[in-house]
Amino acid sequence: MKKPILIGVSIATVLAILLVAAALGFAGNSTKFNAFADAEVNEPVTEKPVQEAQADTEISEIAIKGAIQQAQSNVSFRIIEPLYIPSGYKFESARGTKFVGATNDIDMASFSYKNGDEQLTIKEIIMVKTKDNRTQPSTLPKDTREIVDINGIEGRYSEENGIKFLIWKIGNLSLSISSWKNEGQNQTSSSLTKEEMIRIAESIREKTPEEAIAEAQAKVSFKILQPAYIPAGYRMNTAQTLGTKFRGFSLEAEQASIFYIKGDEFFMKNEYLNLQELLVLKDDTATNITAPKTPWKFVDINGIQGRFLETGDGVKQLSWEVGNLNLTIGSPAYNESGFTGTPLSMEEMVKMARSVK
């Protein structure tokens, strides 16, 4: 027997809506879901490419992801996480900062790692606004830094005052890695080699769709379904695609989230498509709330009744079921005004849903 619906939406759908908001960083700190009051996240014991050196530390992967998400909320561009960190280095912090200058505004994300007295810092910087386009004659001396290859991109390596530097660019994103050893008040050269720094740099890239799906699949027990049709202009946002298990006192669930993005390669002011696949393993949540009439539009999705809903701010949601799997496609956008809708039509969302297999 199906559970009573809650405010016109099933518990599974409520969970899906909350999770998509949290994954995009739109959920506020006050957002709560009682079924997860005492929840814990259970991840299988697998290789953790984002933080390879974390296995024996007190900082959990969830805490690291939370720090990165917090940093992401403070910058306008999409942060790229390193997929490789050398053995021995432990995650220390992730930060996002905005700088307003006389001529330029920039956003910067940084990752810090420690290995005893040795420090490793990764920075990602993007120019948000240029207030003065006049160029000044260059008086810089000839660049004598060593040229190195980073995934086919020219990088520059140097050692200055005990600090090892590696810099390069990906599109309009400027990146740097620095490494040093603290000896009292002095900085001396770290044991990290140039080759290891290049390997870190090469890992700061977008995952391929295949890598992203495989990583998410390893964390859920059901087979992740994928759409054969994606509306024009959208591509998979592999940095956000993930799989998660949840275990609470009254609710156990697994979810795969596949994100698609339309817009600038890095900036967060884009249009999104979110495919959520939710498997509820246990649901002892009890509620007798009388649900008001929800203005669903009912559509056919391969012989199954789907429900389409558009909110007052234009955010669209399409929900349906495949066996015991609850699926939801959301179409939000994020800009200076916050969380809003996109021009994507219901017909396009239905076409995408019908191609999910």
Half-sphere exposure of 25 (CA within 13 A, CB side): 23
The distance of Cα 176 from the centroid of its chain, to the nearest Å, equals 21
Assess contact for 41 and 247: CB atoms under 8 A: yes
pLDDT in tens, 47-87: 333 333 333 445 777 788 889 889 988 988 888 989 899 99
Residue 272: the pLDDT is: 85
What pLDDT score does 292 carry? 62
Q: Look at residue 181 and tell me whether its pLDDT is greater than 80.
A: yes
Long-range contacts of 154-157 (CB under 8 A, 24+ apart): 155/198, 155/201, 157/194, 157/197, 157/198
Mean pLDDT on 264-282: 81
| % residues pLDDT > 90 (the chain) | 50
Contact (Cβ atoms closer than 8 angstroms) between residue 127 and residue 118: no
Is the pTM higher than 0.85?
no
Token output for 237: 């946002």
- pLDDT tens-place string over residues 207-218: 889 999 999 999
The full set of domain ranges for the chain reads 11-44+219-354, 49-203
Q: How many CB atoms lie within 10 A of CB 277?
A: 24
Distances 286 to 6, 78, 240, 273, 313 between C-alpha atoms, Å? 10, 39, 32, 31, 31
Asked if residue 309 lies in contact with residue 317, where contact means CB atoms within 8 angstroms, the answer is: yes
Q: Residue 22: pLDDT above 50?
A: no
Greater confidence, 241 or 268?
241
233 conformational bin, left if phi > 0, alpha if psi -120 to 50, beta if neither: left
Give the pLDDT of residue 39: 33
Torsion of CA 24, 69, 278, 229, to 10 degrees: 50
CA terminus-to-terminus distance, the chain:
26
Each residue's pLDDT tens digit, 110-158: 999 999 999 999 999 998 777 665 555 556 677 889 999 999 999 999 9
What's the farthest any 2 CA atoms get from each other in the chain? 77
**What is the CB neighbour count within 10 angstroms for residue 213?**
19
20, 274 contact by CB (below 8 A): yes
Percent of the chain with pLDDT over 70: 76
Mean pLDDT, the chain, rounded, equals 80
